[in-house]
Structure 1
Amino acid sequence: MVILTGDDLTLDKVRQVIFEKEQVDVSPASWERVEESRNTVDSIVQNGEIVYGINTGFGKLSDVKIKDQDVKELQKNLILSHASGVGEPFPETIAKTICLLRANALLKGYSGVRPVIIERLLQFINLGIVPVIPQQGSLGASGDLAPLSHLALTIIGEGEVFYKGERVPTCKAYQREELEPIQLEAKEGLALINGTQAMTAIGAIAYLEAEKLAYQSEIIASLTIEALQGIIDAFYESIHRVRGYVEQMEVAKRIRQYLSDSHLTTRQGEKRVQDAYSIRCIPQVHGASWQTLNYVKEKLEIEMNAATDNPLIFTEEDKVISGGNFHGQPIAFAMDFLKIGMSELANISERRTERLVNPQLNDFPPFLSPDPGLQSGLMILQYSAASLVSENKTLAHPASVDSIPSSANQEDHVSMGTTAARHAYEIIQNVRTCLAIECICALQALEYRGVDKMASMTKQFYEEARKIVPKISRDRIFSKDIERMNGWLKKIPLFFLKGD
């Protein structure tokens, strides 16, 4: 059971809820904050005060006073009009994470919603009701308005959800679970959609996948080092210690652990004096990518526990203040940084793949073919990796440097953080495929080099991987091998990859 407090949600807890299906609940102290915040909203409505988001219009229409009897309709209209997302829906993992992060943010007690709103989000998570949320349509500044509006639709019984393997109208899932739609009251519509939870949820799932890939890149690179009889001296501890980057030292240490008892690695001068950079500089390049991952993790965990609503209700100070915490610039930068860091793991992986298949760079049969000429072997796998690497270069263009004014120029600077996060997620899928290709090529090269001479840890990985992609004895449809390897890498337990 994961207990939400609004203050201490971590990426590891996200992993437990989303991938390990842990149930969620709320700490009693958090409920108290929520109720106090709601009491403030009720008091404002009863006293006839004019406060943005409670009894006014929105954005450029914030100067329009709403009649008391129309406040509930105002909130519903807000959701209906802002549910303007387009494109394919988010994967269920991301949509479920949006629910989790929105519930956690509301539990901080600065948004003024009733507990029933948060309880519904928890029911979604625990019952497996996942809102259908289109991926495109957010500028990432007034909060993720369009995506979060599609989440809010399901709370009021509108829209669609994924439920028990089907995409169904929300009302159908409600009937099966004996739930009733919730009528939104003052402030609640705005509180549901004004926040950065869409971009942050994409970022959280992207990070969790990226972290696993970063570990996988090291053991797959270790297979390649053995296949190419790489020089182990380049991973000598003192080399990395004198530069001083912790992440670089940790990568080198894990490579040394993976290859500690290998009979395939060489010493400098035995076969060559130095390896190419894609082998020799693995700690420096992969370590730099780990630096970006650490930065991204820090920013995501801050944002996951942040109050990003507007206006914010400060109960103890008896103030309701409009600000700009919904602006996604910190996450936009982090996601653009993630894009670059992960793209480089694919870049260097593709270069290692080239060294495995190019007969001018190794002593294997051309393209690792079982019968060169008659059979092309793994020639085109490198093409596919090169194509993905090139695509990543386009996706890695920073979204955060763009801004398009909206809401009649009231919202005149936006972050494009959700676009950055979406592109980061796409890049990570491409990175996994590039690593799958390198892995397939390294496995085949090791058939020629001598599996019996492999290190204990890499041989264990080899044997498990061979259950997924068998030895290549003749040409076949390699896209199926890539797909199977890709799927296996996505599911493989994280603990196996840390060199523990």
Structure 2
Amino acid sequence: MNAPGASPGVPPDAPPDAAAIGAAPVVLHGRGLTAAEVVAVARHHRPAVLGADAREAMARSAALVDGFVVGETPVYGVTTGFGSLAATVIPAERTAELQLALVRSHATGMGDPVEPEVVRALLLLRARSLALAYSGVRPEIVDLQLALLAHGITPVVREHGSLGASGDLAPLSHCALALVGEGEVWGPDGAVVPTAIALDHAGLAPVALRAKEGLALINGTDGILGMLCLALHDLDALTRLADVTAAMTVEGLLGTDRAFAADLQALRPQVGQARSARNLQRLLAGSAIVASHRYGDGRVQDAYSLRCTPQVHGAALDTVAHARTIAERELDAAIDNPMILPDGRVESCGNFHGAPVAFVCDFLAIATSELAAISERRTDRMLDVARSHGLPPFLSPDAGVNSGMMIAHYTQAAMAMENQRLAVPASTQSLPTSAMQEDHVSNGWAAARKLRRSVDNLRRVLAVELVCAAAALDLR
């Protein structure tokens, strides 16, 4: 455990965006939250509040749970133990103790701290699911979650501890621990302090958990979904950047834009491919370099890494679009178990299983890997004097004395290869837990973590191509 004020190993995120902080708050109704709003709250510190309709519905749902506590029929997670201990009946006078014990026992994460923006996304998304009022949680719980976000108080969550079913248990438990005034948090200044101190400085009081509330706070896939939302936001920018760097490389290598013609793309009606090709044509329009060798060039066609850019970039765009569809559905979903239905029924279900988001995180890692791979291949062509059509070795006018971009390419290649390893699916891996009660898991947290690293690598891979392409154009 870190001493108060000590760094836990992860630097604070970028300073809060003043414009976002001053923007109208995101209002949680349970449904209707967008991925862009998740990013605004998680990364830029836009405030969020609980909607009046959600507040009323949550109060009604919590009242139903109060009735279950004194009823005669055992209700899973309310008057019973958890997982393989579900047959153990808990007396009414110990139901609150049960919830606190659950949170404490499940806050067992290990490893490096998770980035604050991921934890902020996790907090927001758990609040969103609770706001749907299928969890039997009082609105005061969500109020405190959103107050932590508003005051820049971020629970310290560790890297390891989620199997992606029953949700992100250990990460969410560390967040729940903060609500009861225990554990550690990052304060607004980025220092790690005991939660009780941070709450006191912010004028906030911890909550005393009631029946069902501990379980509802930790039974969700919100960490996986939060990382997916952040990755989708970043990939929107990086897929556009990839077209820019590719166009610059085509120009720098004296390539042609004829392969990107609209009539050729229409022969294969892939949406992403057509979009990337249009973008490349737009970027290369008016290029004096491209025009200078449009006729009389002895080369019949460009290498695949140039000519097939729309096909690869377009496939990545289509993958991002599919992942966004899954994320949007999940942003409207009630994620918990059991569900407290408005008619008073309590039903066990499997909505905590992270398979839908785990699969698309793995799918995106494949797309991200291929964007990096083709970028690295384009970069290599600019550095190889035998294939660069007149550019100096490694883009160095003083080759020999100066190695130019040689080792920058090594760094790029190392990251591209790491992305190839990160493209191996995590969601195909599963081990049974909880005495075989939880005998299949999604491993979605691992899928989302490796996607996050893959996106970060792609950003750097494209940066190397960008610098090399700019140098190549300067040398033309």
Report the TM-score when normalising by structure 2: 0.92
User: Which structure 2 segments of 5+ residues have no match?
Assistant: 1-24
Does residue 303 in structure 1 map to residue 327 in structure 2?
A: no
CA distance in 2, matches of 1:270, 1:441: 24
Does residue 427 in structure 1 map to residue 454 in structure 2?
A: yes
Matching residue within 97, 114, 117 for 1:90: 114
Match of 1:116 in 2: 140
CA distance in 2, matches of 1:57, 1:268: 77
More displaced stretch, 169-178 vs 257-266 = 257-266
CA distance in 1, matches of 2:213, 2:432: 26
Does residue 103 in structure 1 map to residue 130 in structure 2?
A: no
Q: In structure 1, the residue corresponding to 2:108 is in which secondary structure?
A: coil
Does residue 274 in structure 1 map to residue 297 in structure 2?
A: no
Amino acid at match of 2:347: I
Report if the CA contact (8 A) 1:137-1:146 is conserved: yes
Report if the CA contact (8 A) 2:69-2:95 is conserved: no
Match of 1:11 in 2: 35
How far did residue 47 of structure 1 move? 2.6
CA distance in 1, matches of 2:331, 2:186: 24
Does residue 288 in structure 1 map to residue 312 in structure 2?
A: no
Matching residue within 323, 327, 346 for 2:349: 323
Match of 1:202 in 2: 227
Matching residue within 359, 365, 377 for 2:404: 377
Amino acid at match of 2:454: I
CA distance in 2, matches of 1:349, 1:192: 42
CA distance change for structure 1 residues 283 and 390 in 2, over 3 Å: closer, same or farther? same
How far did residue 269 of structure 1 move? 5.1
Does residue 35 in structure 1 map to residue 62 in structure 2?
A: no
Does residue 342 in structure 1 map to residue 342 in structure 2?
A: no
More displaced stretch, 266-275 vs 53-62 = 266-275
Amino acid at match of 1:195: G
Match of 2:207 in 1: 182
Aligned pairs for 1:41-440 (under 5 A) are 41-164=65-188, 165-266=190-291, 267=294, 270=297, 272-315=299-342, 317-362=343-388, 363-440=390-467
How far did residue 199 of structure 1 move? 1.0
Q: In structure 2, the residue corresponding to 1:421 is in which secondary structure?
A: helix
Q: In structure 1, the residue corresponding to 2:288 is in which secondary structure?
A: coil
CA distance in 1, matches of 2:45, 2:125: 15
CA distance in 2, matches of 1:423, 1:271: 44
Match of 1:26 in 2: 50
Report if the CA contact (8 A) 2:184-2:193 is conserved: yes
Report if the CA contact (8 A) 1:231-1:268 is conserved: no
Report if the CA contact (8 A) 2:427-2:442 is conserved: yes
Cα deviations across residues 148-205 of structure 1 (Å, max 9, x unaligned)?
Answer: 1011010011111111221221112111111111111100000000111111111111
User: Which structure 1 segments of 5+ residues have no match?
Assistant: 450-500
How far did residue 49 of structure 1 move? 3.2
Q: In structure 2, the residue corresponding to 1:207 is in which secondary structure?
A: helix
Amino acid at match of 1:365: P
Report if the CA contact (8 A) 1:161-1:167 is conserved: yes
Cα deviations across residues 112-131 of structure 1 (Å, max 9, x unaligned)?
Answer: 00111000111112221111
Amino acid at match of 1:330: P
CA distance in 2, matches of 1:195, 1:19: 21
CA distance in 1, matches of 2:329, 2:432: 27
The structure 1 segments of at least 4 consecutive aligned residues displaced by more than 6 Å after TM superposition are none
How far did residue 268 of structure 1 move? 6.4
Report if the CA contact (8 A) 1:37-1:313 is conserved: yes
CA distance in 2, matches of 1:420, 1:269: 50
CA distance in 2, matches of 1:271, 1:296: 43
Report the TM-score when normalising by structure 1: 0.88
CA distance in 2, matches of 1:375, 1:445: 16
CA distance in 1, matches of 2:344, 2:68: 11
Q: In structure 2, the residue corresponding to 1:444 is in which secondary structure?
A: helix
Report if the CA contact (8 A) 2:39-2:121 is conserved: no
CA distance in 2, matches of 1:277, 1:268: 21
CA distance in 2, matches of 1:36, 1:130: 29
How far did residue 305 of structure 1 move? 2.1
CA distance in 2, matches of 1:297, 1:132: 28
Q: In structure 1, the residue corresponding to 2:125 is in which secondary structure?
A: helix
Report if the CA contact (8 A) 2:30-2:332 is conserved: yes
Over aligned residues, Cα RMSD in angstroms? 1.2
More displaced stretch, 47-56 vs 107-116 = 47-56
User: How many pairs align?
Assistant: 448
